[in-house]
């Protein structure tokens, strides 16, 4: 039967046929979709924006944890692509840059964790920032003894010879490094191979602090990736 209360998620046509308790078919584009699934996706996007864990989101929406985790992974992949596109558009406008080594707060005071630090190059365009992961600067030292003098000397060298160019002491990159350290604390640990995805999420949320703006961008990215 026809259903007039919702619009097609593909073409926005209002003339729909309900073909099952959960599925609709568009009168114009002929595509089928699950309104319930689409609404769950919108709710998960909002939970992602609110920094809800996948576990908490799954519990509050009555969904399977694996479903939410997979959705979050897809969103982070979209943000990585979004960030890359911005980089290519803004390459000629970068005005400031800084080299930074990230360590979780719980590891920062223990010198044994120094060589777990992840190198990041941050760049500024307008009031926004873009980040790149640096090659692992410590890989060639990991076979040495814990107390090897070479490790200490190399760590000092890196800190004294960081690549940086600022136009002022208080700048977007300094603010972002502080934001990143605080923001990462609500995770229970991120594997090094997954760090780039979380870094790009932090970059996106720092650049777009207004949640309504975040939602608008994420919904557009999701629509383009899966409903166009």
Q: Per-residue pLDDT tens for 194-212?
A: 999 999 999 999 999 999 9
Check residue 97 and give its pLDDT: 87
Token representation of residue 179:
């934001």
In terms of C-beta density within 10 A (0-12 exposed, 13-18 middle, 19 or more buried), how is residue 105 classed? Answer: exposed
138 pLDDT more than 80: no
Dist CA 76 CA 205 (whole Å): 12
pTM of the model: 0.83
Residue 214: name the closest of 13, 99, 75 by CA.
75
Q: Taking all residues of the chain, what is their mean pLDDT, rounded to a whole number?
A: 85
24 pLDDT more than 80: yes
Place 139 in a pLDDT band, splitting at 50, 70 and 90. Answer: low
Dist CA 32 CA 153 (whole Å): 63
Average pLDDT over residues 168-176: 80
């Amino acid at each position: 039967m026809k259903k007039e209360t919702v619009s097609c998620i593909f073409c926005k046509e209002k003339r729909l046929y309900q073909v099952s308790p959960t599925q609709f078919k568009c009168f114009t584009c002929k595509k089928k979709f699950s309104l319930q699934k689409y609404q769950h996706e919108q709710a998960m996007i909002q939970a992602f924006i609110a920094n809800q864990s996948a576990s908490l989101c799954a519990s509050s929406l009555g969904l399977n944890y694996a479903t939410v985790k997979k959705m979050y992974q897809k969103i982070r992949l979209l943000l990585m692509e979004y960030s890359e596109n911005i980089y290519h558009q803004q390459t000629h406008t970068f005005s400031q840059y800084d080299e930074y080594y990230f360590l979780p707060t719980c590891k920062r005071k223990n010198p044994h964790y120094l060589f777990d630090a992840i190198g990041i190059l941050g760049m500024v365009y307008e009031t926004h920032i873009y980040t790149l992961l640096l090659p692992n600067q410590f890989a060639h030292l990991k076979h040495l003894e814990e107390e090897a003098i070479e490790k200490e000397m190399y760590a000092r060298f890196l800190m004294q010879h960081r690549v940086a160019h600022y136009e002022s002491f208080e700048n977007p990159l300094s603010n972002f490094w502080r934001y990143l350290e605080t923001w990462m604390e609500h995770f229970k640990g991120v594997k090094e191979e997954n760090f780039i995805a979380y870094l790009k999420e932090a970059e996106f949320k720092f650049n777009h602090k207004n949640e309504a703006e975040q939602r608008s961008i994420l919904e557009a990215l999701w629509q383009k990736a899966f409903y166009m």
